[in-house]
Structure 1
């Protein structure tokens, strides 16, 4: 009976651990994995965990030397405005972490006008 109880309890712990929700939160210039927090969830600060967001999505400060496009002309930098209407740049397509608006792919016009202007 003790062995059966131990197996059942272990199975419950393993099931709960493997199916638990993972969460992430924006921290200055990247997402970090965090534990669930009701207050942060109610303030819309928590997002469901996405590994590609943790690994690939960062806010950057591009310069004229930044590689904006791949060899096949696909985009490396996306942009959007923050709550103060200032342009911010990111390393992947997605939603702006503060405003929730869809980021736009960088264009040569945007590079010339806002990043490489003299």
Structure 2
């Protein structure tokens, strides 16, 4: 049932917001729909949102991600128009029943699943044979002829030919390069707005703390940046004991 909910949730984002790929959908969920801050236990990162997509929609068995808690399940169900996950579940778990000639009652869902399981290996095998060459050609064309790759230039990312050295495939990270900048921060820098972070941070390859204006990855280490917190501000930014973290 969780798989069905996650699938419908991401499909609804694609339908309403015209977000065509999983990274854009995951980013929209985290940055636009999410109602809790990064310090809340129910906060979900773009990485976790993407992993939920990989596990439940793409059915990748090797993906390691915790099952969504009640808060997240209720949140997704409410986005789809239900009061909570329990209401969604109770409606979805009512299978349509049919009566066979011998009087036995079976559900259409069970009957359909049994047919799929029976031919599962044949379907998967045929799909791989058809899709592999198509995907190979598409990937080769896409890599060589589009500008999905980016390269770091001192304080910002720029679009780049994917064949060049040190480029990054932005179709995976989905970084908004128009607004992503490395900046210097002071005690006058606005770090939060309505409780949500405006600055992200990460350490460079020489362990120096650096700050950026958008979610994304550190251009040197390629590690995902973290949203700023009061603790980080007090420890690395503020130098005067009387200074206080501004959260508005």
Q: Please, what TM-score do these two structures have when normalized by structure 2?
A: 0.36
Q: 1:77 aligns with which of 199, 202, 213?
A: 199
1:36 deviates by 3.5
Aligned length: 96
Q: 2:176 aligns with which of 53, 66, 72?
A: 53
More contact order relative to length (CA 8 Å, sep ≥ 6): 1
Structure 2 equivalent of residue 103 of structure 1: 225
Structure 2 unmatched runs, 5+: 1-140, 241-248
Name whichever structure is richer in helix by fraction: 2
List structure 1 runs of 4+ shifted beyond 4 angstroms: 49-52
Q: Please, what TM-score do these two structures have when normalized by structure 1?
A: 0.71
Structure 1 equivalent of residue 156 of structure 2: 30
Structure 1 equivalent of residue 239 of structure 2: 117
Secondary structure of the corresponding residue to residue 54 of structure 1 = coil
CA distance in 2, matches of 1:116, 1:79: 15
Name whichever structure is richer in strand by fraction: 1
Secondary structure of the corresponding residue to residue 197 of structure 2 = coil
Query: Is the contact made by 1:31 and 1:53 (CA closer than 8 Å) also made in structure 2?
Result: no
Secondary structure of the corresponding residue to residue 89 of structure 1 = strand
Q: Which has more radius of gyration?
A: 2
Query: Is the contact made by 2:200 and 2:227 (CA closer than 8 Å) also made in structure 1?
Result: yes
